[in-house]
Amino acid sequence: MAKTWLAVCLLGALAGCYGMVGVEPTDVSTVKAGSSRTEVEAVLGTPIESGTVEGYRVDVYGYNAGSTGSMPGPIYDFAAGVAVLMIYMTPIPHVIEYEGQRVYLAVWYSADDKIVGYHKSTDKEAILEQTGERIRFEDARRVERIRLEGARRAYESQLRLRAEAGDSEAQYEMAQLVETRSAEQLTWTRLAAHQGHAEAQFDMAQLSESGSAEQLMWACLAAHHGHAEAQHQMGQFHDESADSGNQDLVAAYVWYSLAEVNGFWETGSEYRKTTAGGWACCFPTRTRREILAEQLGPVQTAEAERLVAVWQPNLATCETIAAQAKE
């Protein structure tokens, strides 16, 4: 019996000695989210690879992993060895992640050099390749962004020259590039509108005081230049102006028709019921033009259709309508 205990102790001691053999572990307990790069390098030393990925600095470090626990590795191994031999007389490996291995750690830093994330592996080539690929990808993206920024600036410079030379399309595009509702945007929009640019004229109507003669005039000009939504708004003006004496249901029918021809689809709160029993969004069961056709009757509707067929832009009418709106 004494000999058996002696054998157990000797084998346990050997297990403890085995735990002493290996590499000196690195204490990485301070390497965690929020740690500074200075703190990390005080523990892990100089990175073996550095780069930038998506605006973050990424450093790769190497360190030796050691055992962890409430007591030193050799004592733990000795105690474990004795316990195992006492029970089963067969060894159980001391399993701790990365124990005794060389570990490679890729650390991501924020702009103020604080850790925001990291990943690790015992495969140096794998982690260097992964990190390197991200760095090369980010470098390529950075180069492409610089190229695109240069191209954008060159385009804007040429666009400004065209706008200053009086090109209405360039003037309108300049209005879309500058700050929204700024004085510069209004200036470019107005310049393009005065040259007959339909989108610019419609935008001027939206920028004008609601219900004002100026708003009506710009909407009318845009409508005569083929702007579908402006044409629909002109239909609404003639349709809903009974109180001001400007109601003209035939003219309203004409404008509604032109708007539909140019691609404007009226939306409303009346929805078609589908055969499946659901509701189809978002077209009304009948458009306002269809309702007007019933109100006008066959004779006036036929006249309105004739006017649609022969319609030609007449900008002079816009000043007349705006003047009537002022009264």
Question: Domain-by-domain residue ranges, the chain?
Answer: 2-122, 196-326
Query: Are the CB atoms for 52 and 138 separated by under 8 Å?
Result: yes
Each residue's pLDDT expressed in tens, for the chain with a length of 327 residues: 555 544 545 445 544 444 444 456 677 777 888 889 998 898 888 998 888 777 788 899 988 876 444 344 444 444 444 444 343 333 333 334 566 688 888 888 888 888 887 878 888 788 777 777 777 777 788 788 889 999 999 999 999 999 999 999 999 999 999 988 899 999 999 999 999 999 999 999 999 988 888 999 999 999 999 999 999 999 999 888 766 667 899 999 999 999 999 988 776 544 444 455 555 555 556 788 999 999 999 999 999 999 999 999 999 989 888 887 676
- What three-state secondary structure class fits 325? helix
pLDDT at residue 268, as a whole number: 53
**Amino acid sitting at position 22:** G
3 state DSSP class of 144: helix
Contacts with 230 (C-beta within 8 Å, 6 or more apart), sequence order? 198, 201, 202, 205, 219, 220, 222, 223
pLDDT value of residue 69: 44
40 exposure class (CB count in 10 Å sphere: 0-12, 13-18, 19+): buried
pTM of the entire structure?
0.57
The Cβ of residue 271 has, within 10 Å, a number of other Cβ atoms equal to: 15
Q: Please name the residue that has the structure tokens 């399993």.
A: 95
Mutual orientation of helices 228-239 and 198-207 as an angle, nearest 10°?
Answer: 50
Q: Quote the CA–CA distance of 67 and 47 in Å, as a whole number.
A: 23
